[in-house]
Amino acid sequence: MRTSEKPAADAAAGLSGPASRKLPVPPRERKPALAALAVLLILGGALATTLLVLRSGDRVSAIRVTQQIGAGQKFTAQALEEVKIAAEGVDYVSWSQLDQVVGSFAAVTILPGTLLTNQMGAKASSELGEGKATVGLALKPGQMPAGLKEGDRVQLVHVPSRASQGESRVLAASALVFSVGDKSRTGNSGQITVVVDSSASPEIVAFASSGEIAVAELPGAR
């Protein structure tokens, strides 16, 4: 009977060893759905980045003004240049329409560096239309301000000479400076051309010929 009890004792001793204290480890669960989602997110991010890079180089040719153009003045090829801009978000005039723009008129005064839009141009000019006249003025120092440019607005004022009787008065309240010439070689005169009402042009020409006219700039009128 003693020999039959030994296996039981050996079994008890075996259960008390280190192996008997290890807990069973459950098998690792694989999650293929999460792995696939991670791959899709990575691919989606890469695609979005690629699209942004491609769109950043998506440019079209537009027209930019390089010289001041007064309201009513014609667009010239010398005052326009090609510039690359984003394809969307701007009501631009395409560079391919340059031939249509040249010869048309500015609806408003346009400053250098302005991107040309459709609202800035017009086929006909109210400034140079019926009832208007262009008048050339040869002025001496003191009769016109320095720095006048095409497109500026000026007043034309009659300044009586000492020999004549009368008071100064405005001949044209807001005349458009159509062009500005260089000063003469002697530096004694400056040539400008202004757009005025045709009804006032004879009087303006008469006073200009006698040197009884002066020009005052209107900086706030464009």
Give the integer Cα–Cα distance in Å for 108 and 153.
Answer: 12
Q: pLDDT (tens digit, 9 = 90+) per residue, 51-96?
A: 555 555 567 888 999 988 877 788 899 999 998 887 666 678 889 8
pTM: 0.51
- Reference 63, options 117, 144, 138, 120; nearest CA is 117
Backbone angles phi, psi at 54, to 5 degrees: -65, -40
Least confident among 71-75, 182-186, 205-209, 216-220: 182-186
All residues at 6 or more sequence positions from 173 whose CB lies less than 8 Å from its CB, including other chains: 155
* Averaged confidence pLDDT in the chain: 75
All residues at 6 or more sequence positions from 83 whose CB lies less than 8 Å from its CB, including other chains: 61, 62, 63, 64, 115
Q: pLDDT (tens digit, 9 = 90+) per residue, 102-133?
A: 988 887 778 888 888 887 887 767 677 778 88
Give the integer Cα–Cα distance in Å for 21 and 150.
Answer: 99
Element (H, E) at 201: helix 201-209
Work out the pLDDT band at 203, boundaries 50, 70, 90. very high
- Please report, for residues 2, 89, 94, the alpha-carbon distance to residue 55 in angstroms, rounded to integers and kept in the order given: 92, 13, 19
Work out the pLDDT band at 191, boundaries 50, 70, 90. confident
pLDDT at position 156: 92
- Reference 157, options 194, 198, 184, 108; nearest CA is 194
Q: pLDDT (tens digit, 9 = 90+) per residue, 158-171?
A: 988 776 667 888 99
pLDDT at position 127: 72
| Cα angle for residues 87, 90, 91 (degrees, 5° grid) | 115
Backbone angles phi, psi at 161, to 5 degrees: -75, 170
pLDDT at position 188: 44
Sequence letter at residue 156? L
- In angstroms, the first-to-last Cα distance of the chain is 126
For residue 19, is pLDDT > 60?
A: no
